[in-house]
Amino acid sequence: MTKTVGELCKQIKGIYNLNGSADTVITGISSDSRQIEAGYLFVCISGVHVDGATFAAQAVEKGAVAVLTTKHLDLPKSTVQIQVPDIHHALEDMVPFFYDYPGKKMRMIGVTGT
């Protein structure tokens, strides 16, 4: 799967700020900096004990070309930064689109009874 940053941003319902080229091609999405490969979008999810933004520089070193974050980060100018107020809502909009809506291709069958 490959999509551009611009295509992904169009899916976001709500406000966002894009710093960088909308034509940058994304080849994968991950919130785990250890799994980043060249061309990936790194997602900075903030948890209870750790803020994913602390690993953004490491992700860029491993090949991430873009970062989804809630705040501006001190990263190389070549790195695209997508700032959103809520990471989880942005992911809900972007990820299914990136993977061509896999849930729509599944057949669901329900069996009920006593």
Q: What is the pLDDT of residues 58-99, one digit of tens each?
A: 999 999 999 999 999 999 999 999 999 999 999 999 999 999
Q: Where are the domains of the chain?
A: 3-105
Topology given in CATH for the domain delimited by 3-105: 3.40.1390
- Rounded Cα–Cα distance for residues 52 and 43 (Å): 7
User: Sorting pLDDT into bands at 50, 70 and 90, what band is 103?
Assistant: confident
- The pLDDT value given to residue 41: 98
CA 52 from chain centre, in angstroms, equals: 12
Q: What is the pLDDT of residues 21-50, one digit of tens each?
A: 999 999 999 999 999 999 999 999 998 999
Residue 2: other Cβ atoms inside 10 A: 10
Reported pTM? 0.89
